[in-house]
């Protein structure tokens, strides 16, 4: 019997499989097709202080081995999430959940995280620093070590929940950003967010996305995500949630060998609503093939060979 339990900064999960923010909503639709309580956790839709309607359409485009999205953090706002979505989540999922938080200023991140601090079911706050910083010419917080550290420290000052900072891959040295977040007090890291990309419609000779560019996700980005998890595991002593193109139990184990303590599944959920369920069911077989009785033993294993 393989033990699939893992721990992230003191938060115990029954297995390392976590649907990623933006691909699972608040769980309601998926709860209609399978019992969400088989999951380790799930990261709900990216939330901002005020409601957002997102970017104009079209905002999704297919690519070989993946997809582009420019949804634009459409969400009902933090007050609605706390008052309505969290009580609904408690009815369909009984484990600790992960809140994905965005913002345009450090103050907005603080406001959101303060609102979630007293919510009992919140296990981890996942701070998405791929959002544009309106005080720095629109550059993402995650593209600059000082900005990343600023947001991390500000959030840590207002919440007792473990704070995992979600890192952008659209940087020169992701390990440098990871070290800045670690030094500012982050409890863990999540990586990677989507890669910046675009497509052009040959009929109209215009970008397929109304926003022009979007985030590339899906199997095409898996090798990039794996390499970055490896680099960050070498750079900091923090738990890592690996994310990016994971679509099978084998991918989960590979990501853990690179250094992840748990793994988020993103675009695979949009292609197959049963993706996470299937991965969880196949994990014991893959672990047995790898000769481990505790899946947590895989974390960082490739660094020890």
With CA atoms as reference, report the closest residue to 170 among 136, 105, 216, 220: 216
Write the burial class of residue 58 (CB in 10 Å: 0-12 exposed, 13-18 middle, 19+ buried).
Answer: middle
Tokens 């088989």 map to which residue?
38
Q: Is the dihedral of CA 195, 77, 124, 250 positive or negative?
A: negative
| Three-state secondary structure readout of 174-197 | HHHHHHHHHHCCCCEEEECCCEEE
Integer Cα distance of 238 and 171 in angstroms: 20
- Structure token digits, residue 166: 């979600």
Output DSSP code: residue 112.
H
Both structure tokens of 41: 């956790």
Residue 38 is classified by DSSP as G
Cβ-based neighbours of 183, under 8 Å, separated by 6 or more:
149
End-to-end CA distance of the chain: 25
Query: Which two three-digit tokens encode residue 301?
Result: 């294993």
Neighbours of 69 (CB within 10 A): 21
DSSP per-residue letters across 211-257 = TS-EEEESGGGHHHHHHHHHHHHHH--S-EEEESS--SHHHHHHHHH
Among all residues, which ones are annotated catalytic?
A: 131
Q: Are 214 and 193 in contact (CB under 8 A)?
A: no
């Amino acid at each position: 019997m393989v033990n699939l339990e893992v721990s992230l900064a003191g938060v115990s999960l029954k297995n390392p499989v976590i649907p990623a923010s933006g691909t699972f909503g608040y769980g309601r639709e998926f709860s209609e097709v399978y019992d969400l309580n088989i999951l380790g956790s799930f990261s709900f839709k990216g939330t901002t202080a005020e409601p957002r309607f997102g970017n104009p359409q079209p905002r999704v485009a297919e690519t070989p081995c993946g997809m582009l999205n420019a949804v634009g953090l459409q969400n009902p706002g933090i007050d609605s999430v706390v008052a309505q979505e969290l009580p609904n989540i408690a009815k369909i999922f009984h484990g600790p959940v992960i809140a994905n938080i965005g913002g345009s200023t450090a103050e907005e991140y603080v406001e959101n995280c303060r609102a979630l601090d007293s919510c009992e079911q919140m296990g981890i706050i996942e701070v998405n620093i791929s959002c544009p910083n309106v005080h720095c010419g629109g550059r993402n917080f995650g593209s600059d070590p000082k900005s990343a550290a600023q947001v991390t420290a500000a959030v840590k000052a207002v919440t007792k929940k473990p704070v995992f900072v979600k890192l952008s891959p659209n940087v020169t040295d992701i390990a440098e950003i990871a070290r800045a977040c670690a030094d500012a007090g982050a409890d863990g890291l999540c990586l990677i967010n989507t890669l910046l990309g675009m497509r052009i419609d040959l009929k109209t000779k215009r970008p397929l996305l109304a926003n022009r560019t979007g985030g590339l996700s899906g199997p095409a980005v898996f090798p990039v995500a794996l390499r970055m998890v490896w680099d960050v595991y070498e750079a900091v002593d923090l738990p890592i949630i690996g994310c990016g193109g994971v679509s099978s139990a084998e991918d989960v184990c590979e990501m853990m060998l690179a250094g992840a303590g748990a793994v988020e599944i993103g675009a695979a959920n949009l292609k197959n609503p049963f993706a996470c369920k299937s991965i969880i069911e196949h994990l014991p077989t893959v672990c047995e093939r790898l000769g481990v009785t505790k899946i947590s033993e895989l974390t960082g294993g490739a660094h020890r060979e």
